[in-house]
Amino acid sequence: MKTAREMRTDNAKCIGENETLEAAAQLMAQLDVGALPICGEDNRLKGMVTDRDIVLKTVAQGNDPRSVLAGSLGEGKPVTIGADDSIELAITTMQEHQVRRLPVIDGHTLIGMLSQADIAKNYPEDRVGDLLRLISFE
């Protein structure tokens, strides 16, 4: 089976931990994505921010996305997948951590994103339903 490197979307961009959530939302709109990795000044991943995080953890709480920094939403160690890891490991990781997207790293460098949709596009057609059941949350 293929590796994360082979199935990833390779145009992933980070939002800096000291950039605002407004900038994150604008980058999401520009890239037509719903999640961005958060990168620190050292270029290492600090977490992930989703469009849902911006709405529920910022706007709905009465906070201004123009003043809240992306790094404030990067909680804990980010869940990632190594570039040369198998898709089976990626599926297991998504399932265990209840995520639908994984930053793909080579060493400590972000080289892309791997989504449930990326895997589904490359998965045997007769097994896509099983894949979605494995990753989807009940």
- Please name the residues in contact with 75: beta carbons below 8 A apart, sequence gap of 6 or more: 47
Q: What single letter denotes the amino acid at residue 79?
A: V
Count of CB atoms situated within 10 Å of the CB of 44: 15
Give the distance between the most distant pair of CA atoms in the chain: 47
Residue-wise pLDDT tens digits, 2-57: 899 999 988 789 999 999 999 999 999 999 988 899 998 887 899 999 999 999 99
The domains located in the chain, with CATH, are 4-135 (3.10.580.10)
Q: Look up residue 65 and give its two tokens.
A: 């996305």
Alpha carbons within 13 angstroms on the beta-carbon side of residue 35 total 20
Q: Look up residue 10 and give its two tokens.
A: 């390779």
Residue-wise pLDDT tens digits, 39-51: 988 878 999 999 9
